[in-house]
A and B are shown apart, each in its own frame.
Chain A
Amino acid sequence: KAGVTQTPRYLIKTRGQQVTLSCSPISGHRSVSWYQQTPGQGLQFLFEYFSETQRNKGNFPGRFSGRQFSNSRSEMNVSTLELGDSALYLCASSSDARVGNEKLFFGSGTQLSVL
């Protein structure tokens, strides 16, 4: 079974631009979660999608948005980029993140640098 695929692996943008990150979950998984990792902050939860619906949202500004398609692939968009948005963005998939004893499977992440 193929793992979670995130594209692109690396991205360099300038302040004010917008960016779209893509995630293809493991086949059969309907839940996709997005996390931001910065040094010292661990994994900060952005949002979770299940069957094309956003079920949970973390404490991030509205510049961060996402969506999920009918094939469970997900995209995350960040508009009006700020220097502080530089981070590793991780996508994780599971059958259903709300089911007990489920675990998340992570992609390799997209390293975003904002200059």
Chain B
Amino acid sequence: DQQVKQNSPSLSVQEGRISILNCDYTNSMFDYFLWYKKYPAEGPTFLISISSIKDKNEDGRFTVFLNKSAKHLSLHIVPSQPGDSAVYFCAANNGNQFYFGTGTSLTVIP
């Protein structure tokens, strides 16, 4: 039962343009959401998070939006850079454990 879903396995974007990665969840008890970035042969590293009491959180080029009514969150990267090419995982916590999506592989084309 996949409670956190990333329906796009891959995404290609031109350098300098916006990258939008999407994530949907089914459990309304999730109250904390995170995005992780993963390079090959490395563990995921924390990128940005958002609490369920907010609908937007920014950190430099990265912004996460949360739409609780739609049970949807998205990560915007502006402007995209070649070094952003990686697999991005969204995750959610219900106060008991973390649930991860299947990941979206982002390729930023120079």
A binding-site residues for B, Cβ under 8 Å: 4, 6, 33, 35, 40-43, 45, 48, 56, 90, 92, 97-98, 100-109, 111
Contacts and interface: CB of A to CB of B under 8 A. Distances in A.
A36 to B, nearest CB: 11
Contact of A101 (B6, B32, B42): B32
A42 B95 contact: no
B43 A108 contact: yes
Contacts of A92: 43
A48 B99 CA distance: 12
Interface residues on B, range: 20 to 34
Nearest to B5: A42
Contacts of B95: 98, 100
A43 B89 contact: yes
A45 B98 contact: yes
A111 B100 CA distance: 19
Given A42-B89, A42-B103, A109-B43, A103 B97 contact: no
Interface of B: 6, 9, 31-32, 34, 36, 41-46, 49, 51, 89, 91, 93, 95-103
B89 A103 contact: no
A102 B51 CA distance: 11
Given A98-B95, A100-B31, 11 more contacts: A33-B97, A40-B102, A41-B102, A42-B100, A90-B44, A98-B96, A101-B51, A103-B49, A104-B91, A106-B44, A106-B45
Nearest to A100: B32
Contacts of B100: 35, 42-43, 45
A90 B38 CA distance: 12
A42 B102 contact: yes
A56 B97 contact: yes
9 contacts: A4-B43, A41-B102, A42-B89, A56-B97, A97-B93, A100-B32, A101-B51, A104-B98, A106-B43
